[in-house]
Amino acid sequence: MESCTHVFQISGIKNREKKRVLVQGIQQLGGKYLGGSVYQYASTHLIIPQVLSSEKFLAACAAGKWVVTPEYVLDSIKNASWLAEGPYEVAISTGATSTFYPVRQWREKVATGRLTGAFQGWRVLLMVQEPSRRAMFKRLLKAGRAKVYNFPPPPHASVTHVMVKPITDNVKTLNAPCYPVSYIVQHLFGSNYAEMNFNILDDHPSETKRDSFVDLDFSNLESELRDYVIKREGQPRLCFLEFLGYHDLYCPQSQAVETDFSNVGSMIECGLFNEALDSIRSAVFPGVLPPVPYLSSLLEFAQQGNVTSAFLRNLKQVMCSLLMTNPPWLASSNVKKYFTQVLQCPRCKAGMWSFLETAISYCLSSEVTCHRLPGPALPTLLRFHHDILAFFLKLFQGELHSISAGDFVLPQKRAVTQASASGSLVTGTFWTVWERSTLLSRAVKSLIQLLIQATEDYGKKDEQLRLADTLLDLLCVLVEFWCQQHFKLNQNLVEKGLNDLAEHFAVISQDVSPVVLAELIVRISSSRLKMVMVDAIFRNLCCKNGFTIGDEPLSLKKMVQSYLPALGSLAYSPSVAHPRTGPSSHGCSSQTASRRGERSLVNETNQEKENIPRGLNRVNAAGETLLHRACKRNQVETVLQILALPGTDVNVKDHVGWTPLHEACNHGSTACVEALLRHHPTPVLNNQVCGVSPLHDALFNGHMDIAKMLLEHGGSILLHQTDREGRTALDLVSTASQKHELLHSAQVGDSALTNKVTEISNLPLLEAGSSLLGHLICAYQRERSLRSPMQPTNEAHRLEYRLVRALEAHSFQKVTLGWTDQRAVRLVEDAETLLELGRGRYLGQIPKAVKECKGENTMFLIEILESLKSQGKALVADL
């Protein structure tokens, strides 16, 4: 296909309507528009209203591109085709009659082939200290085909130009001509340089000049970020290269070939199972499928537990050979039906899931099987069921690989359609026809329950360790299969399914040790599944230990601002073992004790009801609880009653997002604020609604006493928060004396936080929480961050650059104003959080106990946080 000859960039046009008309006109005439605030070499034309002191203009000039006025596109639209560019080339009037065309000389030289660029042959040692301006000059020089080196240059480099800003003593030691960066413009425009009055090279550009380089269409940015997220989320997470060889191009898997297995049937009737298995093993070829009754008889014989290790080994080989020579994901529906009939209990014939569930249950020494099996846990029978589990896993991995790789692995370029994916063995095993729109089906719930059961003795026995790993891999495969099958149809459905599964796992695993759960999470191979499961488990762990976390969507800011303080609360949690509740024993004594317990429970319940305030569970139209309403009215007795009840959520939000602390600060309820701050866990002080924190709320309404109380409790970190207008708490007070009072209260808070007892009372819980949070951050970056350690792309770097440029020049609220896609908004918020981390913010919220802990997982988490800080610094350095 012929490449596009009209590829445009636009600079200097800030009116959105004018820019929209130009972009639509370019696309209408078959051209292409490249957005962004920096010059892109793929462009062929630059549209500017007049000569500008911008990077795009200088780079287009150096590269010999067309630089035209907007009238070129507007007149071409009227002409219904592209006009000649010459009459529209940008010009400067240097006198009454003379006109200077600044880019014409370089454009003509490049067009005729005399030069490849204005800086051809230059080998430049660029020594500019400010990172963003150094990156700008580097792009400009490369547009003119110069070779650019950083200091110190490579030993073999022959430098022709040294460009320094500012000039330092190091320049004198370089054996090459030294030039100021203004020489770039002098070279481009010669004697007309002085008349052009460029300010792009000023040593100290003002903020207004800096803003002139930001040329972003934020609506286009939202669209590009959304498309990037959708493309990223649709990529496969698991890769199984071993299945690339699971087909034979010369023997297409059309249907099974008829083969004489009558002698096998005779052997089975005579009880010669070993001989029958040997006969089948020698006859397994592509297109050859042994009759289902014969394989079922061999499986039933193995299920009795009286077989030898050699028989099990040969049976495993036969099953694997069948899968390799007749993979169901590459074959017809008849082959899939064949495996469905084989992979079920040979006695009960209740389907694939029943057979798989029985194998897992037997490995767990459970009596819940499709029919009574020999026991207790015969070694040969254990091995048989472990082999069955491994075979199921391999089969499902192959089907996942087929829908992930598409026609890449299929012979004759037969793509896997949605219909074939829905008719797969994975789908038929775990979802009924009525359950396919939900991830959390009955079979999936049972698998999770069995995984939890295998996890209880995790690490004590090698068999249990292997079983738990197999079940975890099985869960990852079926989750990824379901997500890839439904993602293109309904992305919200996939997100809801993942969250439901994670919450279900977190709830039913509450009795499992956090240390064991942390070890289990490490072994999850799907980053998508790991992220949602760790998030649910961490929030549930914090809730169990008295620290409530908001239900807003997961983001980097939430992890830094909410999860880190919660981690500190885990360090101070009492180290108390909670015994598992089990079934009560039988007998008269136990029944009597049960009745006594019931009577005492009734008495205690009646006493508790007397202490429960009326209307506790009633929520008004605004979503306000009784705690909200009591804080608004300064009813401190009611507040104390509610806080004394177990399970009270001190950070409960109404429909808008306001917490009881917000209401107390807004209405001047000083006594209620004091009661809330004394409660354990303490309320979240940095929670913001539309940029309004409790501290902002207090100062907006003139409640200085409450503001000082908050600062004495939370420290100076609260003074760094800004509202939607970019105002800090100190900006909301008018007199110097009030600012001094607030600063003094913040110093008191900092001192109290510094002198707080940092003795860790529950190191295992802190280590488990640190492990969970560390893996959550890593999984989140792989899944949702532009700057990801996995598969970096030019598209990601370009989007990241534009996003950071926008946030450097505008506030987060301005960039995302009017955006409707929350995934794109979260990307902007994550970029802003990284920038703030790079500036040294947020990490001050790490509790002292966490910072000083020498546990392996906690130290690893600190390293991850420092890495995030370094990434934030690199974002600006890359500009």
The ranges assigned to domains in the chain are 7-111, 123-211, 242-512, 626-754, 764-877
Half-sphere exposure of 564 (CA within 13 A, CB side): 22
pLDDT tens profile 411-421: 444 444 444 55
Average confidence score pLDDT of the chain: 80
High-pLDDT (> 90) share of the chain, %? 24
Whose CA is closest to 833, among 793, 789, 780?
Answer: 780
How do strand 7-10 and strand 32-33 relate by DSSP bridges? parallel
What integer pLDDT is reported at residue 605 of this predicted model? 44
For domain 626-754, the CATH architecture is Alpha Horseshoe (1.25)
Please tell me whether the peptide bond between 681 and the residue prior to it is cis, using omega within 30 degrees of 0: yes
pLDDT at 191 over 70: no
Let me know the angle formed at the C-alpha of 614 by 609 and 615, rounded to the nearest 5 degrees.
120
Q: Where are the beta strands (DSSP E) in 611-686?
A: none
So what's the pLDDT on residue 393? 93
- Work out the pLDDT band at 335, boundaries 50, 70, 90: confident
pLDDT value of position 256: 44
The per-residue pLDDT for 717 is 81
- What does the alpha-carbon distance between residue 201 and residue 54 come to, in Å, rounded to a whole number? 10
Q: Tell me the pLDDT tens digit for each residue of 670-693.
A: 999 999 988 877 788 877 887 788
Report the C-alpha gap between 322 and 328 in whole angstroms.
10
Angle value at C-alpha 173, between 172 and 175, nearest 5 degrees: 95
Average pLDDT over residues 328-347: 88
Which tokens belong to 402? 């087929």
CATH topology of domain 7-111: Rossmann fold (3.40.50)
State both tokens at 83. 């006009």
Render pLDDT for 383-420 as a digit per residue (tens, 0 to 9): 998 999 999 999 999 999 888 875 333 444 444 444 45
Indicate if the pLDDT at residue 803 is higher than 50.
yes
β-bridge partners, 180: 164
**CA–CA separation, 748 vs 744, rounded Å?**
6
> Count of alpha carbons within 13 Å of 140, Cβ hemisphere only?
25
Tokens coding 538: 């961490």
Between 531 and 129, residue with greater pLDDT:
531
- pLDDT, tens only, 281-294: 887 777 788 889 99
Tell me the C-alpha distance between 728 and 725, whole Å. 9
pTM of the full structure: 0.63
The amino acid occupying position 168 is: T
Tokens of 537: 């488990």
Residue 73 confidence (pLDDT): 92
pLDDT tier at 737 (50, 70, 90 boundaries)?
Answer: confident
255-284 residue pLDDT tens: 444 566 778 888 888 888 888 888 888 877
pLDDT of residue 538: 92
- Reduce the DSSP state of residue 236 to 3 states and report it: coil
Q: What is the pLDDT of residue 705?
A: 93
The pLDDT of residue 471 is above 90 = yes
- Which residues lie closer than 8 Å to 333 by C-beta, 6 or more apart? 423
Per-residue model confidence (pLDDT) at position 176: 67
Other beta carbons less than 10 A from residue 10's beta carbon: 25
Higher local confidence (pLDDT), 841 or 702: 702
pLDDT at residue 591, as a whole number: 41
Q: How far apart are CA 611 and CA 171, in angstroms?
A: 80
H, E, C per residue of 409-420: CCHHHCCCCHHH
Q: Give per-residue pLDDT as tens, 53-74.
A: 788 888 999 999 999 999 999 9
Helices (H), 183-291: 183-189, 193-196, 207-211, 218-233, 262-269, 273-281
- Can you give the pLDDT at residue 532? 94
Q: Is the pLDDT of residue 30 over 50?
A: yes
pLDDT higher for 555 or 98?
555
Q: What is the pLDDT of residue 409?
A: 39
Give the whole-angstrom CA distance, residue 329 versus residue 142.
50
pLDDT tens digit string along 421-440? 557 899 999 999 898 889 99
Mean pLDDT on 115-122: 89
Q: In this predicted model, what pLDDT tens digit does every residue of 473-510 receive, in sequence order?
A: 999 999 999 998 888 778 888 889 999 999 999 999 98
pLDDT of 303 strictly over 80:
yes
Structure tokens at 65: 């591109």
